[in-house]
C-alpha cells in the first residue's frame, strides 16, 4: 500500500495596517517565536517566518482539509490580540484586511525558505511596496487568454 504524499506549501504575506513600521526587531523576535508555537498548537505548521517593520512573510504547510482563508484569518486575528494584549506598542496594532498568498512547489521550497530568511537583507535594497510591485507584475490573471 502506498502512503499519500500531499505537499501544500503556501507563502503568505501580511502587511501592517497603513504600512506603519511597527514591527521593530525586538517585537519581531517575540512575535515570531509566539506565532510558531501558537500555530503549532492549532495544527498550523509554520515552516519559516520573516519580514520587515511593516510586513510578515510566512511559509506554511497546509493539511488538505485546512481552509486557507480561515487559516490566515485565524493567524492574523490571534496575532493582533497577542500583540495588543502584551502592550508591546504604544498604539493599537492591526493588519491590513487583505493579504497575499500563493502556492510554492516542492522544487521552490528551499528558495522560498531562503528568501523569507533573508528579508532583512532584501529590504535594505527594496521597500515592501517595491517587493509587492514585483510580485504583482508576475501574477497570473485567469481572466486573460
Residues 6+ apart with CB under 8 A from 28: 51
What is residue 124's predicted lDDT score, i.e. its pLDDT? 74
What is residue 126's predicted lDDT score, i.e. its pLDDT? 74
pLDDT at residue 15 tops 50:
yes
Residue 143 belongs to some domain of the structure: no
The tens digit of pLDDT for each residue in 31-62 reads 999 999 999 998 889 999 999 999 999 999 99
pLDDT at residue 143 tops 70:
no
CATH number at residue 54: 3.30.70.1290
Q: Which domain holds residue 60?
A: 8-137
**Residue 145 confidence class, pLDDT cut points 50, 70, 90:** very low
Q: Which whole number is the average pLDDT over 70-82? A: 95
pLDDT at residue 131 tops 60:
yes
Residue 2 belongs to some domain of the structure: no
Residue 145 belongs to some domain of the structure: no
pLDDT at residue 130 tops 80:
no
The proportion of the chain whose per-residue pLDDT surpasses 90, expressed as a percent, equals 67
Residue 85 belongs to some domain of the structure: yes
Number of domains in the chain: 1
Q: Map grid coordinates 519559516 to a residue.
A: 48
18 or 131, greater pLDDT: 18
Residue 144 belongs to some domain of the structure: no
Residue 3 belongs to some domain of the structure: no
Q: For residues 64 and 66, what is the distance between their CA atoms, to the nearest angstrom?
A: 6
**C-alpha 78: how far from its chain's center?**
14
Residue 142 belongs to some domain of the structure: no
Residue 76 belongs to some domain of the structure: yes
Sheet holding 55-62: strands in order across? 45-52, 55-62, 8-16, 95-104
pLDDT at residue 1 tops 90:
no
Amino acid at each position: 500500500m502506498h502512503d499519500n504524499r500531499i505537499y501544500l506549501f503556501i507563502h503568505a504575506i501580511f502587511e501592517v495596517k497603513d504600512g506603519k513600521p511597527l514591527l521593530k526587531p525586538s517585537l519581531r523576535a517575540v512575535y515570531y517565536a509566539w506565532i510558531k508555537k501558537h500555530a503549532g498548537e492549532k495544527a498550523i505548521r509554520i515552516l519559516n517566518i520573516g519580514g520587515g517593520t511593516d510586513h510578515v512573510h510566512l511559509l506554511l504547510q497546509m493539511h488538505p482539509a485546512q481552509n486557507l482563508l480561515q487559516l490566515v484569518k485565524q493567524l492574523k486575528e490571534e496575532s493582533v490580540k497577542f500583540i495588543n494584549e502584551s502592550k508591546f506598542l504604544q498604539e493599537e496594532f492591526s493588519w491590513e484586511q487583505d493579504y497575499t498568498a500563493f502556492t510554492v512547489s516542492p522544487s521552490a521550497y528551499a528558495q522560498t525558505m531562503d528568501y523569507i530568511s533573508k528579508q532583512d537583507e532584501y529590504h535594505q535594497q527594496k521597500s515592501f511596496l517595491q517587493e509587492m510591485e514585483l510580485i504583482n507584475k508576475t501574477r497570473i490573471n485567469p481572466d486573460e487568454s
